[in-house]
Amino acid sequence: MRRIHRRAGLRGGAALLGALALPGLLRAQGASPGGWRPTQPVRIVIPAAAAGTTDIMGRMLAPLLQERWGQPAVVENRSGAGGTLGSAEVARARPDGHTLLIGNIGPQAIAYSLFRDMPYRPEALIPVSNMLRGPNALMVHPSLPVRTVPEFVAYLRERPGRLNYCTSGPGQSGHLSAVWFHQLTGTQATPVHFRGAGPGMLALLARDVEFTVDNLTTAMEQIRSGKVRALAVTSADRNAGLPEVPALRETMPELAEYDVNTWFGAFLPGGTPEPVVAAFNAEIKAMLELPATRQRFAEMGGVPAYGTPAEYAAFVRAETEKWGGVVRKEGLRMDIG
């Protein structure tokens, strides 16, 4: 593979994150609605590399917490092992409210049935609130001579196992979305796992891989600029941000049952007191209600997905069960190490 420079990735991430610090708007919201306050800096752990959607969520939340609580909120990327490395670090942290995880469908739902050697269990992390929901997108490098899903499936069938696709890590939603796509269409390709959606997108832009199925929220700007070609979205219906791009299930009879949405939300270490959980939930709710947040999410092709801790916990349990069924049906089992 051609070398991918980290500096380029960080520049791209910085551009994507532009104007997300909103101090004037945050002050206008008034005092924090939660009762608990941190007494030292808050670590926001991102179990993925910079510039992906998980990273964006953490970097949107950090300035709000810092503004409202008067304590530094520091974002730390702890990528690797399909998001389980950073998640395990938070699961082991002191449950005192000074370490927060921005998790997602991969390490917080899919991983429990996919990995044999999981370093934590669901009860080791307390769901605080969902933040963003959106589909994945099937994207190809523009050099591929395909413009529709049927053309792409035919192209794959003529080259079984010869094309490579990037993922944001083993067990992440993009990986399992591609697995299900191949299962339904009878195609084969080789996954190349990266430490997050940002590095994976750089590999696709460089044509180190030929295609990907990953977060639309991460890829919207590259799609609109023509740097990658979106063939379909994974949700049941088309996305309002790209109305000309079909849903996968409308493109071929084999894909009629296909429906995948990914999500990103916050978790605290197991054992964190309820007032702390409630305080973080209140701040996330405040952020999601900001007009600037809603506008940014719309630009990314996603929607706000606030939930109370109880609602979010029930949602995460349902997602864990759903993806457990998909993993078992496929017969997938992996080791993290």
Judge if 299 and 277 occupy the same domain.
Answer: yes
**CATH of residue 161:** 3.40.190.10
Q: Which residue has the higher pLDDT, 6 or 208?
A: 208
Residue position matching structure tokens 């007494």: 39
pTM: 0.85
> Residue 266: is it exposed, middle or buried by C-beta count within 10 angstroms (0-12/13-18/19+)?
buried
- Please check whether residue 89 lies inside any domain of the structure: yes
Its domain, for residue 238, covers 135-255
Flag whether pLDDT at 37 surpasses 50: yes
The proportion of the chain whose per-residue pLDDT surpasses 90, expressed as a percent, equals: 81
Q: Among 235, 255, 275, give the residue marking a domain's end.
A: 255
What's the whole-number mean pLDDT along residues 209-226?
A: 95
**CATH of residue 47:** 3.40.190.150
Please write the tens of the pLDDT for every residue from 247-277: 999 999 999 999 999 999 999 999 999 999 9
d(CA 151, CA 81): 33
Judge if 125 and 274 occupy the same domain.
Answer: yes
Q: How many structural domains are present in the chain?
A: 2
Residue 68: name the closest of 101, 36, 100 by CA.
Answer: 36
Q: Among 205, 224, 255, give the residue marking a domain's end.
A: 255
Q: Which residue has the higher pLDDT, 54 or 325?
A: 54
- Please check whether residue 26 lies inside any domain of the structure: no
Band of residue 34 on the pLDDT scale cut at 50, 70, 90: low
The proportion of the chain whose per-residue pLDDT surpasses 70, expressed as a percent, equals: 90
Q: Among 189, 220, 255, give the residue marking a domain's end.
A: 255
Residue 22: name the closest of 291, 301, 223, 297 by CA.
Answer: 291
Judge if 291 and 305 occupy the same domain.
Answer: yes
Sequence-ordered list of residues with C-beta below 8 angstroms from that of 190, at least 6 positions apart, any chain: 161, 163, 164, 165
Residue 166: name the closest of 132, 112, 205, 134 by CA.
Answer: 205
pLDDT of amino acid 32? 52
Judge if 224 and 164 occupy the same domain.
Answer: yes
Average pLDDT along the chain: 90
- Please check whether residue 19 lies inside any domain of the structure: no
- Please check whether residue 320 lies inside any domain of the structure: yes
Flag whether pLDDT at 160 surpasses 70: yes
Flag whether pLDDT at 311 surpasses 80: yes
The DSSP code for 213 is E
- Please check whether residue 17 lies inside any domain of the structure: no
What's the whole-number mean pLDDT along residues 62-85?
A: 96
Judge if 116 and 196 occupy the same domain.
Answer: no
- Please check whether residue 24 lies inside any domain of the structure: no
